[in-house]
Amino acid sequence: MHNRRLVAVGSDVKKLFVTATSPGIIYKDLLITGTRVHEGSQAAPGHIRAYDIRTGKPKWIFHTIPLPGEKGFETWEDPDAYKYIGGANAWGGLTLDNKRGIVFACTGSANYDFYGGKRKGNNLFANCVLALDAATGKYIWHFQYIHHDVWDRDLPAPPVLVTINKEGKKIDAVAITTKTGNVFVLDRENGKPGYDIVEKSVPTNSDLIGEQLSPTQPYPVKPAPFMRQVITEKDLNHLLPDSSYQEIKKRWASLRNDHMFNPPSLQGTLEFPGLDGGAEWAGPSYDPQTGILYINSNEVGWIVKAVESKNETALNENLGQAGKRLYQVNCVVCHGPDREGSSNSPSLKKIQNKYSAASFDTLILTGRRMMPGFGQLTTAERKAITSFILDIAGEKKKIFKDSSNKKDDAWFKLPYYMSGISKFLTKEGLSAIAPPWGTINAIDLNTGEYVWRKPLGQDPDFHFSNEPTGTENYGASVITAGGLVFIAATKDGKFRAFNKMNGKLLWETKLPVPGYATPSTYELNGKQYIVIACGGGKLKTKSGDSYVAFSLPANK
């Protein structure tokens, strides 16, 4: 694992999970692209690469985890960390200022997401906006919005090119929307803040041995956050029946809950804003006519609890015992300690009814949809996990034999794993936090002030109030020249149009299944259309596979 810095993906990471969730961008004769990588203890580095569009040959690479002698290397206390640490990847896509020849990237956290004891320091260029010379990949400037991330608070969407008129001066800038509910506005050429950014003291007390948190984090003075950033007792869901309310109040009190930068803990930490934002992968939409940024947001809390790992391999360990140990290291963060799954990951109970041992081994090796592949696991390790999860009685009793010699294993063995990350919900699956659970916000970037904001959607499963609840939402809005903001994104499966200036709801319709996507608008034969992809499936909603298009009346 010592030669992880090749221009191409490289043979050194060929067994590690590398894919792309966003298309690259074209600059002259270059294809510039980021990657999605694994988020466990073994992950490929998230370097940004450019390829010749005619030959496919690599042209340049920017090391998001710097090599010795490169800018940012000094922000990693262990000089050998670069040999092992992965992540810091631009999975959400890139943005190009073609005129200036600048490519902008937003990066995610370094691995392991929730424990940083083996990557002490601020960890550049994780959790950064990067400005690079599109022709050469050379560094121009950066801004790190979270230092030493242990909350999985990737920058989820590419920057948006904006022009603000501040005090009579036009500034070409990029705006980034974050999982923490903040908007940062930065000059495209030099990264200078359009509105002041201050470093504020944050909690540094961690009960995880070896962890070393940053003493400060950056906060923008303007705009104000587009969501709550901490859950107090008054923010608990008072609309629930008293028995449910008392239960969530008791759980809330048992967690670290008083700051959005409380780290993961053995006690359990209420992470809010949650793992899915704040802002999410769809990002905002921007109206150049008015300078208004439109951003939809989630307000759902998550619980993150650390458990001490038992990394030692017992003598004469059987496949069942080895499988349980390996499950805790590789699988529990998504599927939970009891294999019951979470809001975003399926249950593994009775999965033996769906998979044979051979097909399940293939699933582990290659991954599927949001599940990454685990090519770094040996055949013996995959066999142990398969025996444990599929509960193969005869196989589980066999002795675990792994003849591989993983000389770097000690680095990847972490002292803690996260015991099933889950949303802060009632036993009935309802939000433990008072609404709104999703909002849409309009921010005038010329002033940094809000023009309007309102709940987005109505949760169809919540029957204790007729007031707008908003819902968790995935997919951005699109703005038309006629002054409309169209957005789907919500759990209730509605497609809506708002007046862009005052937020008044002008139209809504029910889709076949929820449209967790961003609409597109186009013109054909003189008529304007708007189309939305309806896939559903997320948030336990019905799945589908349709595109639905609507025509807009002509302006008179």
Q: What is the mean pLDDT of residues 242-250?
A: 96
In this prediction, residue 216 has a pLDDT band, given cuts at 50, 70 and 90, of very high
E-assigned strands of 98-211? 102-106, 128-133, 139-144, 160-166, 169-177, 183-187, 197-201
The pLDDT-based confidence of 8 (bands split at 50, 70, 90) is very low
Structural Rg of the chain based on CA atoms: 24
Between residues 371 and 201, the one the model is more confident about: 201
Q: Which residues contact 387 (CB under 8 A, 6 or more apart)?
A: 319, 320, 323, 357, 395, 396, 398
DSSP conformation class of 381: H
Judge whether residue 241 has pLDDT over 90. Answer: yes
pTM: 0.91
Across the range 365-390, mean pLDDT stands at: 85
pLDDT for residue 93 is more than 80: yes
What are 450-466's pLDDT values in tens digits? Answer: 999 999 999 999 999 88
According to the model, what pLDDT value does residue 3 have?
40
Mean pLDDT confidence for 296-304? 96
**pLDDT number for residue 292:** 98
| Residue 172: per-residue pLDDT | 98
Q: How confident is the model at residue 2 (pLDDT cuts 50, 70, 90)?
A: very low
Q: Does the pLDDT at position 7 exceed 50? A: no
Dump pLDDT digits (tens) for 344-363: 678 888 888 888 888 988 88
**Residue 59: what pLDDT?**
97
Query: Which strands sit side by side in the sheet containing 160-166, from one edge to the other?
Result: 160-166, 169-177, 183-187
pLDDT of 343: 60
Mean pLDDT over each residue of the chain, to the nearest integer: 92
Q: What is the pLDDT of residues 117-168, one digit of tens each?
A: 999 999 999 999 999 999 999 999 999 999 999 999 999 999 999 999 988 8
Q: How many CB atoms lie within 10 A of CB 209?
A: 10
- Residue 6: the pLDDT is 39
Q: Which residue has the higher pLDDT, 78 or 378?
A: 78
Question: Residue 367: its pLDDT value, please?
Answer: 85
Residue 274's beta-bridge partner residues? 277
How far is the C-alpha of 388 from the C-alpha of 503, rounded, in Å?
53
Average confidence (pLDDT) over 222-233 = 98
Is the pLDDT higher at 339 or at 87?
Answer: 87
Q: In 3-state terms, the chain is what percent helix, strand and coil (to 5)?
A: 15, 30, 55
Phi/psi for 520 (5° steps) reads: -125, 145
Between residues 478 and 388, the one the model is more confident about: 478
Q: How far is CA 484 from the centre of its chain?
A: 28
What does the pLDDT look like over 99-119, one tens digit per residue? 999 999 999 999 999 999 999
How far apart CA 527 and CA 453 sit, in angstroms, is: 31
Percent of the chain clearing pLDDT 70 (strictly above): 95
Asked if the model's pLDDT at residue 218 lies above 80, the reply is yes
Q: What is the pLDDT of residue 407?
A: 60
- Is 502 a residue whose pLDDT tops 90? yes
What integer pLDDT is reported at residue 11 of this predicted model? 42
pLDDT at 42: 85
Q: Rounded to whole angstroms, how far apart are CA atoms 89 and 35?
A: 6
Residue 278 exposure: Cα atoms within 13 Å on the Cβ side = 26
Residue 4: pLDDT above 70?
no
- CA 440, 151, 376, 31 dihedral sign is positive
Confidence of residue 381 (pLDDT cuts 50, 70, 90): confident
Confidence of residue 420 (pLDDT cuts 50, 70, 90): confident
Q: How far does CA 522 lie from the centroid of its chain?
A: 29
Report the share of the chain in percent with pLDDT over 90.
Answer: 72
**Structural domains in the chain, sorted by start:** 11-225 (2.140.10.10), 310-413 (1.10.760.10), 477-552 (2.40.10)
